[in-house]
Amino acid sequence: MSGVELTQAEKRTFDRTQRKARRTALLFVAPLLLFIVVSFVLPIGTMLFRSVYHPAVAELIPATLQKLKAWDETSNTIPEPDALQVFAGELKTLVENKTFGKLAEEINRSSPGASSLIKSTARKMSRLDDAELQSKGDQALLDAGKQWSNPNLWRSIKKAGNVFTGAYYLTAVDMERNGEGRVVSRKTQIYTDLYVKSLKIALYITLLTGLIGFPLAYYLANAPERTANVLMVFVLLPFWTSLLVRTTAWMALLQTNGVINSVLQSLHIISEPLELLYTQFSTIIAMTHILLPFMILPLYSVMKGIDPSYFRAALSLGAKPIPAFMRIYLPMTTPGFSAGALLVFIISIGYYITPALVGGVDGQMISNLIAFHMQSSNNWELAAALGSLLLVLILAMYWLYDRLVGVSNLKLG
Amino acid sequence: MKRFAQIAALSLAATTLPALAEQMTVVSFGGAYGDVQQKSMLEPFMEKTGNKLLFESYSGGVAELKSQVESGNILWDVIDMEVIDVERACSEGLLEEFPMDTLPPGDDGTPAKDDFSPAALENPCGVAQIVWTILYAYNTETIGGGHPSSMADFFDTKKFPGKRALRKRPQVNMEWALLADGVPADKVYDMLTTEEGQARAFAKLDSIKNDIVWFDSWSQAPQLLNDGGAVMVQSANGRFFDAIQKDKKPFVMVWDGHVYDLDVWSIVKGSKHKKLAEDFIRFATGSKPLAAMPSIAYGPTRQSSYAYVDKDLVSKLPSAHLDEGMHASSVFWADYGESLGEKFNEWLLK
């Protein structure tokens, strides 16, 4: 037992002041926490949820789905007549509520062509009275279109009725579940290739910014202060300029009759204009330019902190300049380089505006297809699944990076 | 406390009092098209009723509309939409249904039902106002020798070397590919519902794939034609017409294989100004306001408007070229838009 021991009362006072201090501290960070929750955690959570939660069809035709439970979809038959009758009845209700289009849209997603069939059938069912629907609803349904005798359509309906589904994730990796429920690859192959391509483009950009940024940062860090400050403005000025302005500038430079082609042609280096805009090349070059400051700034701040005497000491101890640079100086810049690389890589893999404007078809990245499903095809669930996969991919890269380099090695400024 | 309650009650009364003038937002495509709508539809309506209309532009599609309706935060009231989008938006419950029987008769007294072309009132969620079309045009200064005159010429890179610019989506491009491949216009959609037909269209597009420049918005099209980015460019006929008429550009429109469609005024589901929005649509689709649209080469959907239209303009409207083109099928695209969209993306990336 050591000499000094707190009394119960003293301990309580101490705890109380501690609690109070913690509450005050929490109060200070509360706005930030709230901001993070509202602007970051909630949207991402909603996105993750949206990619698997899909109640639309289950809400539209609950009784039919109940009946379909008994139907064995692996058999090559259509559901029992009473299930068909229930479905015909529900279609009539959907017409009355004007929600049959929603059902048509949902089923059409897995059975292209079903949209017009469901809409026209629903209109036909709405003309029958309830007694007719109950007795002859199944026949009326089968008469409305020969597609209704196809078990595949019923499989789609049953599948779309699942409230929780992994189907969008399967689509996002170019797979699907076939009639027997086995996972097979889809006929249309888009997304996996595009993920790989996006990774590749991001990697090229990271390497390019490193190659261009390293010598420049080195020069900035070692130049006299006056020169360094002036040059720094040249790094920061584009950084402060709007992204769109810089992208548009690249369009003006790269287009068929743009600055670069005109100059090369007037110098008679080329006779036909080069195809520069709307290619992967233009995506990479424009994004390298735009992301360069993210590489230079961390590198510069780290290099600024490296004591030049280490390098001099190595030289004076007899090391040749190049090995001395490689073994003494370079390792010390790693924190800056890895921070810059991580920033550039993560930002570029989710980039969207620049590829959309200058990339054409060739220079598209996965984010452009996510935007496509948000804006054009209206398939928000698939967009959410693609987005979630992108998030996982970035987290995986981060983990890999942590294993290889170590995150504690980061230095941002 | 009493005073506070009084103020509260007063201010509450002030906000719930029936407003004399309403403020409503109308959304349409910008450019020359929007200017004409502003002058012939919005301004006269504001003058007549004393209400204030805000006019915004968008680039089409249903994404913005969907997010407004789903979040319950309705910022738009009336939208100008392409029929393909209306078909989808209406069936997904994103639009209000329009009471067609309240449409006023034409200025010559013809009841609305007989005055409008039947297709204009087909969709319950909106009233079509114009017939427009998608065709291609070339620039006489950059095309070189001969002059393209058919859809087959658009796909003939031997006869007409150079880039072609198309909008990056399957719509219209799939139709064009089959038309150029010799499929008659009335068989195009039947063919496109089959795997073989789709494969045939993609094969035809493949033959010019390396010569295509893709763009995303109609406004980019005249630009591409002007600065030599492409020698033949797809766009809405009004865009070319405007460039030829106003900016005196040496563009020539080719009517063969054009794909015409309607544009519709509709009301966002849950609009707070539904009554006013209906009033506006009834006004905007009247004989006189519609008669202003031909000034940018879009044809009015009601017969009685033509009495006000300059005879010279009538021959420049899509309606004068109907037998050279085909009608875009919104039903087909509601069925196959999504699956063909995916196949189209795959084909693009191959």
Q: Say what the ipTM of the complex is.
A: 0.81
pLDDT at B20: 63
Contact status of A379 with chain B (Cβ, < 8 Å): yes
Please count the residue pairs, one from chain A and one from chain B, whose beta carbons lie less than 8 angstroms apart: 85
Residues A337 and A384 in one domain: yes
B259 three-class SS = strand
Task: State whether residue B190 sits within 8 Å of chain A by CB.
Answer: no
Name residue B209's beta-bridge partners.
none
Shortest CA gap B349–chain A (Å) = 7
Name the CATH superfamily housing domain B133-261+330-349: Periplasmic binding protein-like II (3.40.190.10)
Q: Which residue has the tokens 């719509």?
A: B171
Together in a domain, A209 and A285: yes
Average pLDDT, chain B: 90
Domain containing residue A288: 191-409
For A283, the token pair is: 């995506």
A296 found inside a domain: yes
Q: Count how many domains chain A has.
A: 3
According to DSSP, the β-strands at B232-236 and A183-185 are unpaired
pTM of the model: 0.83
* Local confidence band at B215 (pLDDT 50, 70, 90 cut-offs): confident
Stated as kind and residue range, the H or E segment containing A384 is helix A380-404
Of B305, B292, B143, nearest to B232 (Cα)? B143
More confident residue, A357 or B78: B78
Residues in chain B within 8 Å Cβ distance of A47: none
Question: Using the beta-carbon criterion (under 8 Å), do A255 and B61 form an inter-chain contact?
Answer: no
Q: Which residue has the tokens 């950084």?
A: A239
| B321 closest CA partner among B276, B270, B254 | B254
Residues of B (331-350) whose Cβ lies below 8 Å from A: 331, 334-343, 345-346, 348-349
Q: Contact at 8 Å (CB) between B103 and B285?
A: yes
Inspect the interface and report whether the beta carbons of B168 and A109 lie closer than 8 Å.
no
DSSP B207: T
> Do A188 and B342 meet the contact criterion of CB atoms below 8 Å apart?
yes
User: In the structure encoding, which two tokens stand for residue B289, read together?
Assistant: 């306001």
Q: Using the predicted structure, report yes or no on whether residue B83 has a pLDDT greater than 70.
A: yes
Same domain (yes/no): A404, A294: yes
Report which of residues A363 and B117 the model is more confident about: B117
CATH number at residue A304: 1.10.3720.10
**What pLDDT was estimated at residue A411?**
63
With pLDDT > 90 as the criterion, what percentage of chain B qualifies?
68
HSE toward the beta carbon, residue A401, CA cutoff 13 A: 21
Cα angle for residues B137, B139, B140 (degrees, 5° grid): 120
**Helix A100-110, helix B83-91: angle, nearest 10:** 110
Number of other residues whose CB lies within 10 A of the CB of residue A1:
3
Same domain, A90 and A31: no
Residue type for position B254: V
Ranges of CATH 3.40.190.10 domains, chain B: 21-131+262-327, 133-261+330-349
What is chain A's pLDDT, residue by residue, as a tens digit (413 residues)? 556 778 889 999 999 999 999 999 999 999 999 999 999 999 999 989 999 999 989 999 999 999 999 898 888 889 999 999 999 999 999 988 878 888 998 899 888 899 999 989 998 999 998 888 888 889 999 999 999 999 989 999 998 999 999 999 999 999 988 877 789 998 888 999 999 999 999 999 999 999 999 999 999 999 999 999 999 999 999 889 999 999 999 988 998 778 998 999 999 988 888 888 888 999 999 999 999 999 999 999 999 999 888 888 988 998 898 998 888 899 899 889 988 999 999 999 988 889 988 887 888 899 999 988 888 777 889 999 999 999 999 999 888 888 887 776 666 65
* Out of A101, A112, A278, closest to residue B339 by CB: A112
Is A257 part of the contact surface with chain B (CB cutoff 8 Å)? yes
Give the model's pLDDT for residue A134.
Answer: 85
Q: Is residue A185 part of a domain?
A: no
C-alpha angle B300-B306-B309 in degrees, rounded to nearest 5: 95
Which residue in the block uniquely carries the two structure tokens 């810089």?
A246
C-alpha to C-alpha distances, A30 to A22, A25, A34, A35, A43, nearest whole angstrom:
12, 9, 6, 8, 19
Q: Give the rounded percent of residues in chain B with a pLDDT score beyond 70.
A: 94
Nearest-by-Cβ selection for B338 from A119, A369, A379: A379
Compute CA distances A109 → A163, A302, A354, B87, whole Å. 15, 52, 30, 16
Closest CA to A296 of A218, A213, A233: A213
pLDDT for A380: 87
**Residue A301 belongs to some domain of the structure:** yes
Asked whether residue B15 carries a pLDDT value surpassing 60, the answer given is: no
Q: What local confidence, expressed as pLDDT, does residue B56 receive?
A: 94
Token pair belonging to B161: 């070397």
What lies within 8 Å, CB to CB, of A59 at 6+ separation is: none
Q: Which of A172, A142, A168, A139 is nearest to A154 (CA)?
A: A142
Instruction: Report the pLDDT value the prediction gives residue B12, as an integer from 0 to 100.
Output: 52
- Tell me the chain B residues in contact with residue A108 when contact means C-beta distances shorter than 8 Å: 334-335, 338
Provide the pLDDT for residue A177: 84
Tell me the angle at which helices A330-349 and A191-222 cross, rounded to the nearest 10 degrees.
140
A378 Ramachandran zone, left/alpha/beta (phi>0; psi -120 to 50): left
C-alpha span between B86 and A392 (Å, rounded): 36
Interchain CB contact of A246 with B (< 8 Å): no
Whole-number pLDDT of residue A2: 55
C-alpha B327/C-alpha B333 separation (Å) is 12
Q: What's the gap in Å between the CA of B125 and the closest CA on chain A?
A: 11
User: Do A79 and A121 touch, CB atoms closer than 8 A?
Assistant: no
Residue of B nearest to A190 (CA): B346
Q: For residue A47, how far is the Cα from the chain centroid? A: 11
pLDDT at B4 over 60: no
pLDDT for position B17? 46
Give yes or no: residues A291 and A357 share one domain. yes
Domain identity same for A256 and A217? yes
Q: Summarize the confidence of residues B52-58 as an average pLDDT.
A: 93
Comparing CB atoms, the residue among A102, A113, A194 nearest residue B349 is A194
User: Are residue A41 and residue A61 in the same domain, yes or no?
Assistant: no
Option in B66, B341, B348 nearest A361 (CB): B348
**B88 contacts: CB under 8 Å, gap ≥ 6:** A105, A378, B62, B334, B337
Check whether residue A210 and residue A300 sit in a common domain: yes
- B192: closest chain A residue by CA: A113
Element (H, E) at B220: helix B220-226
Enumerate the residues of chain A whose CB falls inside 8 A of the CB of residue B193: 113
pLDDT at B159 over 80: yes
Q: At what angle do helices A380-404 and A191-222 cross, to 10 degrees?
A: 50
Contact list, A105 vs chain B (CB under 8 Å) = 88, 91-92
Burial zone of A347 (CB within 10 Å; 0-12 exposed, 13-18 middle, 19+ buried): middle
B21-131+262-327: in CATH 1.20.5.440: no
- B91:A364 CB<8 A: no
Identify from A115, A170, A186, A282 which residue to disrupt to test chain B contact, counting B C-beta atoms within 10 A and taking the largest count: A115
Q: Tell whether A376 lies on the interface with B, counting CB pairs under 8 A.
A: yes
Nearest CA in chain A to B341: A377
H/E stretch holding B79: strand B78-82
